[in-house]
Amino acid sequence: MKKVEEDKNMKIAILGLGTVGSGVVELLQINHEKISQSIGETLTVTHAFVNDVTKQRDVDLTGITITDDINTIYESDVDLVVEVMGGIEKTRAIIQRFLANGVHVVTANKDLLALHIDELSQLANQHKVVLAYEASVAGGIPVIRGIQTGLNSNQISQVLGILNGTSNYILTRMTQDGWDYQAALNKAQALGYAEADPTNDVEGFDAGRKIALLSRLAYNRSIQLDHVKHRGISNVEVVDLDYANQAGLVMKLLGKSRHDADKDMVSVNVEPVLLPMTHQLAHVNDAMNSVFVKGNGVGEVMFYGPGAGGLETASAIVSDVMNITSATQQANKIPNQSATIVADQTARSYYVRLAEKPHDSESLAEIVANDQDFVAITTVLTPTELEQLEKTAEVLAAYPIEGKEWS
């Protein structure tokens, strides 16, 4: 353990005191001694920036100046800012100002980072401060650091993950308990998992931003967010989850990306995928997240843990703060090349629910149901071959299957 030096005290401002911001204050309080012993200095939250200074908060804010005027914090002597207020343009300007003033920034804001991380990292490097963002992907799981430092000896060719806790919670309740979509979403919101606008969670935008950030690190390529294709879960029907279950499959919203190093092409997308029960990701339930990374040295690595929640996300944020105080500072790495993003052309089997049995059933490997609905698993099809099938029969639902093939 390091000796805690009396005069070494890092002053921190927290922008936002909602689910995550309150979690950060609480974690710093309950682990105060452990943290200061570990880094050899104390961490003190001196300021917090919020919308509504009169709001009652469930956390002890003694000694913290609460303000709705950001100038109070610009004019303070804080060493580091934790940004957990969310938002894009206004927040970007605030972060720019802190970085330019030589203040380290720790953020959980994937919406902002997925668009502006290169620019903000450059600004941080220019002013010799750190922009850290472990909490922006997969909440409490140290997957950013895992890729950045733990797997940096590998050529990474694939990243695959359950990256949105809200969608995973909704799919789990629909699959295991038969809840309808709206009831499950309401509960996910009440538990603090969902974004202010849950459209981002359920339509795959949030997972898209996270898989873009992970792909940027994994392949060292800038990723244009508007090239990331999304399909969300808002149209998923319980009937398909039940039929899939009969076929030994379970649905997960997956962020997927591959890097073909020979052609230097990257595919990145988000879609609901069916997994065989034997697949490790099939057992990642509730708001838990999990990320698979494939490297040419290590093979397959899997990260698993809480993807959302106050204290869980605070775990990653406080760890970033501690690493800034104690680490040998490294410049923020910025890819020197943009990825050429291509559509994923991987051939796979699909779950299909059709209005009627198709005349040509050559591409069907297994029939799951043939009474009210016609439900089948296809042979291994390319996306183009799936489109052909869709032209011969009215497809009511179609989901790719990952990790198992039918012939």
Q: Which amino acid, residue 373?
A: D
CB of 233 vs ligand HSE, minimal distance in Å: 12
Token look-up 């043939």 returns 370
- Considering the rule CB under 6 A, would residue 35 count as an interface residue with ligand NAP? no
- Report the interface residues with ligand HSE, using CB under 6 A: 139, 164-166, 193-195, 201, 206, 307-308
Confirm if 376 and 354 have CB atoms less than 8 A apart: yes
Nearer CB in complex with ligand HSE: 79/195: 195
Please select the residue that binds ligand NAP; options are 10, 12, 13, 21, rule is CB under 6 A.
21
CB of 125 vs ligand NAP, minimal distance in Å: 23
Angle formed by the axes of helices 238-246 and 165-177, nearest 10° = 70
Q: Which helix (H) or strand (E) holds 256?
A: strand 249-260
Question: At CA 36, angle to CA 32 and CA 41, rounded to 5?
Answer: 135
Q: Is 404 among the catalytic positions?
A: no
Nearest-angstrom CA–CA distance, 244 and 346: 21
Indicate which residue of 110, 210, 252, 294 is catalytic: 210
Q: Report the partner that residue 166 touches, choosing among ligand NAP, ligand HSE, none (CB closer than 5 to 8 A by kind).
A: ligand HSE
Nearer CB in complex with ligand NAP: 83/240: 83
Residue 375 DSSP label: E
Nearest-angstrom CA–CA distance, 192 and 190: 5
Nearer CB in complex with ligand HSE: 204/358: 204
Nearer CB in complex with ligand HSE: 195/203: 195
- Considering the rule CB under 6 A, would residue 108 count as an interface residue with ligand NAP? yes
Q: Report the partner that residue 400 touches, choosing among ligand HSE, ligand NAP, none (CB closer than 5 to 8 A by kind).
A: none
Please select the residue that binds ligand NAP; options are 308, 341, 376, 377, rule is CB under 6 A.
308
Strands 131-132 and 104-107: parallel
Strands 395-400 and 156-162: unpaired
Contacts of 310 (CB under 8 A, 6+ apart): 19, 20, 22, 23, 26, 192
In sequence order, what are the beta bridge partners of 106? 82, 132
Q: Which helix (H) or strand (E) holds 188?
A: helix 181-190
Strands 374-378 and 350-354: antiparallel
Q: Among the candidate windows 30-38, 176-184, 189-197, 258-266, which touches ligand NAP by CB under 6 A?
A: 189-197
CA distances from 248 to 22, 131, 154, 381 (A): 41, 44, 34, 19
Coil, helix or strand at residue 1: coil
Q: Report the partner that residue 201 touches, choosing among ligand NAP, ligand HSE, none (CB closer than 5 to 8 A by kind).
A: ligand HSE
Q: Report the partner that residue 203 touches, choosing among ligand NAP, ligand HSE, none (CB closer than 5 to 8 A by kind).
A: none
Please select the residue that binds ligand NAP; options are 198, 255, 295, 309, rule is CB under 6 A.
309
Q: Among the candidate windows 33-41, 44-52, 261-269, 319-327, which touches ligand NAP by CB under 6 A?
A: 44-52
- Considering the rule CB under 6 A, would residue 276 count as an interface residue with ligand NAP? no
Nearest-angstrom CA–CA distance, 12 and 82: 7
CA 399 to the chain's CA centroid: 21
CB of 18 vs ligand NAP, minimal distance in Å: 2
- Considering the rule CB under 6 A, would residue 232 count as an interface residue with ligand NAP? no
Q: Report the partner that residue 309 touches, choosing among ligand HSE, ligand NAP, none (CB closer than 5 to 8 A by kind).
A: ligand NAP
- Considering the rule CB under 6 A, would residue 351 count as an interface residue with ligand NAP? no
Query: What residue ranges bind ligand NAP (CB under 6 A)?
Result: 16-21, 49-52, 55, 84-87, 90, 108-109, 135, 139, 192-193, 195-196, 308-309, 313
